[in-house]
Structure 1
Amino acid sequence: MSSPAVLKDKIPPHSADAEIACLGAILLDPEALGRVLPYLRADDFYKGANSRIFRAILELSDRSEAIDLITLTEALRAAGDLDTVGGPGYVSTLTSAVPTSANVEYYARIVREASVRRRLLRIAAEITASAFEDGVESRLIIEEAERKIFEITDRQQTGTFKRAREIVEKTIEAIEKLYHTKDSYTGIPAGFPALDNMTSGFQNSEFIIIGARPSVGKTALALTMASNISVHQKIPVGFFTLEMSDMALMQRLVASEARIGSQMIRTGMLRPSDFKNLTDAAGLIYEAPLYIVDTPNMRLLDLRAQARRMKAQLDVRIIFIDYLTLIGSENPDLPRHEQIAEISRSLKALARELDIPIVALSQVSRDSEGKRPTLANIRESGSIEQDADVVVFLHRERGVEKGVEPESNVIETELIVAKQRNGPVGTIKIAFLPQYTKFESLTEEPV
């Protein structure tokens, strides 16, 4: 491995020949620009002259003007850049450096690869500089480094246009697969058929809010969904528990899977026959791709960093956060509603960045006590309502638990889909089993 002193004297990665070949191919064949754009931006060129020339080409394209040696030279002259790039002589040499435009995508990939390496070197230098600053917290340095690395990764995931026939073929294949598997969900099913029929499952990039008053069952619902997805569907799930310990959460999960009363587990008052159920449930959970983060008072940037690692290293497909208003803001001096707005926007952006659903729990205001909550009752900030793609409320009348026999009854609870950006809204009836602290489906359809 090269020493830092040797690295300091090295020329940053670049390919002058590939840069010239890209520009020359575009001048020979203006249609080549469309093949280059999915790969390159002006700042991907190492040589400043080549970067200015590519910008001038893009400006000509934006104005729907012809792109050739004459128009390019005039555009550079009008912008005052002609002498800076080396004059008409340099521009005219571009087309002589490449015999054909057929390999322009290959040239573009070479230029982009060198650009990515330069960005990595720049990030490494910035990390090194930050690490020497005593006043900067190490976790801030790590989070910023991760963010910049992921930005490079996103740039790598370029897209391009597709012919309709290509999309039609894939669409028909997807429809045929759904027909044969009878799976009508395009997202991740939460395990409640009535809800999944309404949403087609939780969709990638969606920010989903589950809201309720305290003690109505937000955590129980989220844990039931996480169990349905990870234990029974074997889909990797990340679960951030900011309120309960991981042991308390696991006790709930074991109780619900084994169908043993939570109180019996907490007190140890178990029957010999319960241990087989406990062992079977523990075996299922042991094999499940469920990853729990137990960090009270977790900061927003730490949560984002953990989520990115979960996605990159464990291929987590959905994340649950219990709950949103317990996340610590990076700007504690801001008013609370502005802190929550910042957290909400960041979680929505994170869902889009990782391309997975993020489900966050949130309390609703005291104004909704005794009546069905609405979007206006989401606590702390109206931005949660705006940022969320789906908002689901849990509701049941206070006192309905009284008189319920713990071993024989269920409590009917309303699951209110109050907002769905890309689908219908409505109310679903589900069953709460207080003895197991879990939810199950009822036979009722959405109303």
Structure 2
Amino acid sequence: MSAGLDLLSRVLIDGDTTAFVSMGLIQEMFQEDEIDLYVYITKHLQEHGVIPSRQTAEKETGVLVLSMPDPPEPASYYLADLQKRHLHRTLVKGLEKARDCLQERDPEAALKQVSETAVSLTVHNNRREIFDFREADGPVMGEFRRRTELGPRYGIRLGWPTLDEMTGGLREADTMAIVGRPSLGKTYMVTWAARNVWWQHHKVPLILSMEMDALALMQRALGIQSEVNTKQIRDAMLTSGNLKRVKGALRAMSKHDVPFWIVDGNLTATVDDLVLLVRQLKPDVVFVDGGYLMGHPDPNAKTGQKVKDNVEALHRRISKGMGIPVIVSYQFNREVTKLKKDQQPGVEHIGLSDAIGQVCSHVLGLFEDETVETLKRRKVTILKGREGAVGGFSLKWDFRSMDFSEYRHVAVEDMEDI
């Protein structure tokens, strides 16, 4: 089959409307029977909100998709082939027109033709970032239908209601930073959120741990799952009751319907390594604990440059390139400890690189709560939101039951029936 038919056949089999809309396809990329099939799929999606079945597509277009062998590769494979073909055809046509202009001794017209061809291809190659508002029906209504169909299952919800309500769930192209001073509890936040995504919402998380080995992280996750202090698990100091809770949690976890991937970064993992893992393990959300420790292709690059390049690559290649939200933990610089009580921290206080605050769609700051309950709570400040939203909430910081959920203040008048 041709590149276009392979791709469209895969689209019909997968039925993924969001993936289809995000491909940035245009009719000029297709030829012959491919055009009829592409036009019909697009029209059916606009009118009915879903990708048609192969049976319906064959009946309405006459293109014999049912008799075609199922394409064995993912849609992205055939999309790359189609893009290469379109690039080649467009360049050939543009250069042929430029050659004709030169034969007519009109070099200015030839230069104009070459420039127009280059601009056309540049716009097309950036179609995921450049939109014609006249074609807003596909992406806007596709997102509307998806939110309507999924309801509370839309996006990646981390389990802190204030944040989840603000974001509506993390979505494709979202990159979030969790920032705090050393040893304040960023790893517990990351682990608690990943476990919530996995256990409560049946999404597949992947944690790349740059700060501790995989065993230590699994012990923390097991403590959260079993509601037993991690130190007791690590030091083998479990009471008979807690041992029973841990074994019960392990049995329940073994039967869970989706995996929870934990990867030991060993202080050397690079974005390239992570991209390969994501392609292989196919998580719904990626967590990087200790993003400032990730490796870099250039071992001689300065630390700030490494952090800048890595956060930009995580956003470009995973959040946007694969449509998988990424949550990364970083550290505040020392200046944040010098702020007065009436001064608010901001993204400018993130250590090592300003790019973190610029690239991330959401930035959370983790602080010790300035109350007598400091040991039992942490304060999270939303330093940056996708649509400018700011605010904050408090976390329970209960190591006895490993509870790091959101603390909700109960007013006296709401306690009458308790």
TM-score (norm 2): 0.65
Do the aligned residues in 2 keep the contact of 1:192 with 1:440 (CA within 8 Å)? yes
Equivalent residue, structure 2, for 1:35: 27
Do the aligned residues in 2 keep the contact of 1:433 with 1:440 (CA within 8 Å)? no
**What do residues 188-240 of structure 1 show as CA deviations (whole Å, max 9, x unaligned)?**
10011111011112221112110001121100000000000012211011100
Structure 1 residues 170 and 42: CA distance shift in structure 2, 3 A: closer
Equivalent residue, structure 2, for 1:289: 259
Do the aligned residues in 1 keep the contact of 2:227 with 2:402 (CA within 8 Å)? no
Give the drift of 1:35.
Answer: 2.2
> Is 1:381 matched with 2:362?
no
Q: Give the structure with higher Rg (CA).
A: 1
Count of residue correspondences: 316
* In 2: Cα distance, 1:389 partner to 1:169 partner: 22
Structure 1 residues 281 and 366: CA distance shift in structure 2, 3 A: same
Match runs of 1:332-371 below 5 Å: 332-350=299-317, 351-369=319-337
* In 2: Cα distance, 1:438 partner to 1:370 partner: 30
* In 2: Cα distance, 1:379 partner to 1:168 partner: 37
Equivalent residue, structure 2, for 1:270: 238
Do the aligned residues in 2 keep the contact of 1:42 with 1:52 (CA within 8 Å)? no
**Identical amino acids, percent of aligned pairs:** 21
* In 2: Cα distance, 1:320 partner to 1:289 partner: 14
**What do residues 129-149 of structure 1 show as CA deviations (whole Å, max 9, x unaligned)?**
xxxxxxxxxxxxxxxxxxxxx
Equivalent residue, structure 2, for 1:433: 398
* In 1: Cα distance, 2:303 partner to 2:141 partner: 50
* In 2: Cα distance, 1:206 partner to 1:76 partner: 51
Equivalent residue, structure 2, for 1:134: none
- Give 3-state SS (helix, strand or coil) of 1:369's partner: helix
AA at the equivalent of 2:404? F
Equivalent residue, structure 1, for 2:170: 202
Do the aligned residues in 1 keep the contact of 2:361 with 2:386 (CA within 8 Å)? yes
> Is 1:319 matched with 2:286?
yes
Unaligned runs of 5+ in 1: 1-12, 16-32, 60-71, 83-153, 405-410
* In 1: Cα distance, 2:2 partner to 2:398 partner: 63
Do the aligned residues in 2 keep the contact of 1:211 with 1:364 (CA within 8 Å)? yes
Unaligned runs of 5+ in 2: 4-24, 31-81, 110-124, 411-418
Do the aligned residues in 2 keep the contact of 1:231 with 1:289 (CA within 8 Å)? no
* In 1: Cα distance, 2:296 partner to 2:26 partner: 43
* RMSD, aligned CA: 3.9
Equivalent residue, structure 2, for 1:18: none
- Give 3-state SS (helix, strand or coil) of 1:297's partner: coil
AA at the equivalent of 1:390? H
Do the aligned residues in 1 keep the contact of 2:365 with 2:383 (CA within 8 Å)? yes
Match runs of 1:59-138 below 5 Å: 77=104
TM-score (norm 1): 0.61
* In 2: Cα distance, 1:412 partner to 1:74 partner: 73
Q: For 2:194, which of 215, 218, 226 is the aligned residue? A: 226
Equivalent residue, structure 1, for 2:92: 52
> Is 1:187 matched with 2:155?
yes
Do the aligned residues in 2 keep the contact of 1:206 with 1:357 (CA within 8 Å)? yes
Give the drift of 1:315.
Answer: 2.3
